Amino acid sequence: MSQTHKRTQVAIIGGGPSGLLLSQLLNLAGIDTVILERTSRARVLARIRAGVLESGTVDMLRAAGVADRLVAEGHTHSGCVFTDDDLMVRIDFTGLTGKAVMVYGQTEVTHDLYAAQDELGTPILHEVSDLVIHEATSSAPYLTYTHEGRAVRLDCDYVAGCDGFHGVSRQTIPAERRSEFERVYPFGWLGILSRTRPAHDELIYANSGSGFALASMRNANLSRYYVQVPLTDRVEDWSDEAFWDRLRACLPQDIRATLQTGPAIEKSIAPLRSFVCEPMRWGRLFLVGDAAHIVPPTGAKGLNLAVSDVFYLHQALISALRSGDTTGIDRYSDRALARIWQAMRFSWQLTNMLHRFDGEDSFAAQMRKASLMHLSQSETARRELAENYVGLPF
């Protein structure tokens, strides 16, 4: 089979938020990229993901020139609510930190990034298979892959592994050179989308005797809800009615009383995991986003951590390619991991504070209640949570 030979400055594996945002920022700086995506664009855009953007993420999307729709359709949230049965504690992000977050679906961010990349004419190849990274530790790395039935070789200066948790990039780092840290939680989140008025004008993170629930939204007529379920549950085990009953049981009476229910237009179960791979660099290969780390959705950090990785890496690659200054790429892994571990801690802490663990004793349940009571009584505790939720500095 004949092989097509191509070249680019930065080869990007993965057409999700990490790959798209990195490519957009590099292209705007005059650096050429190629994005290689395993699935179709439709499949990428069909993924339902979290919808909370830190202020740093909004700034990066503005810098990438993709924030117009976000500004027009996104919703600024200056706080959120934590509850323990009928105890309701509002975390005043803006009052405590001077910052807010934006609620805007990740799917919309991905859509906006694809539109911007198309406008720049960036090569984005879908349905790419058999991708292999070669010579990552040499000065001339290259990829081989199959696309449209043809074997292709792509030579490049650098490779960005933006291919998520199940990608090939992390596996390219020899196992004996990787340190992996993981916590798999013994429960999942059953999530639904419904064309209903959101339960509250701000997000509600609910701890209760019935377990954890989250009341979120996409807009005034589209709600996003989650309830904690055992890992053994399947989506087909949950009727809409059973979902609404569990959600009601988790929410405070005042919220429950006005909850609008309706048919689920999307229903899925996501497992919860904390994961970090060190290092995030192997020669001229750099791991970005979910390829290097996974957080439980409790702290809404997944997309925001991918964005801070992109912040560090795009600056580093521009310096290296423009002036040969490799300080940034030499520091990338340590800089990214320093912020990742802080978000990892916050997400792990919130997950433990809000979820009931199978087989836990009564003391554990009391500790959760005491944590939420402490939050209600201590502005210092609320400020610490707010600082982490709105996003620590890049």
Which residues contact ligand APR (rule: CB under 6 A)? Answer: 13-19, 36-39, 44, 49-50, 106, 128, 131, 162-164, 166-168, 289-290, 302-303, 306
Task: Select which of 114, 142, 185, 205 is catalytic.
Answer: 205
Q: What is the DSSP string of 235-269?
A: GGG--HHHHHHHHHHHS-HHHHTT-----EEEEEE
Nearest to 103 by CA among 22, 21, 223, 17: 223
- Residue 183 tokens read as 């916590």
Least distance (Å) between residue 298 CB and ligand PHB: 6
Q: Select the residue interacting with ligand PHB from 50, 136, 295, 306 (CB under 6 A).
A: 50
How deeply is 341 buried, as exposed, middle or buried, from its count of CB atoms within 10 A (0-12, 13-18, 19+)?
Answer: middle
Task: Select which of 301, 312, 314, 355 is catalytic.
Answer: 301
Is residue 369 within 8 Å of residue 209, measured between CB atoms? no
Q: Does 52 bind ligand PHB (CB under 6 A)?
A: yes
Q: Scanning residues 218 to 257, which ones bind ligand PHB (CB under 6 A)?
A: 224
Least distance (Å) between residue 202 CB and ligand APR: 21
Q: Nearer to ligand APR by C-beta: 128 or 217?
A: 128
Catalytic residue status for 369: no
* Interface stretch with ligand PHB, choices 49-57, 87-95, 231-239, 361-369 (CB under 6 A): 49-57
Q: Does 194 bind ligand PHB (CB under 6 A)?
A: no
Catalytic residue status for 389: yes
Catalytic residue status for 297: yes
CB atoms within 10 A of CB 107: 17
Nearest to 144 by CA among 124, 117, 168, 178: 168
Q: Where are the alpha helices (DSSP H) in the chain?
A: 17-28, 41-45, 55-63, 68-73, 93-97, 106-120, 169-172, 240-250, 253-256, 302-323, 327-354, 362-377, 379-390
**Measured between alpha carbons, how far is 376 from 209 in angstroms, rounded to an integer?**
18
Q: Does 297 bind ligand PHB (CB under 6 A)?
A: yes
Least distance (Å) between residue 35 CB and ligand PHB: 25
Q: Does 51 bind ligand PHB (CB under 6 A)?
A: yes
Active-site residue list = 77, 205, 297, 301, 389
Interface contacts to ligand PHB, rule CB under 6 A: 50-52, 203, 214, 216, 224, 297-298, 300
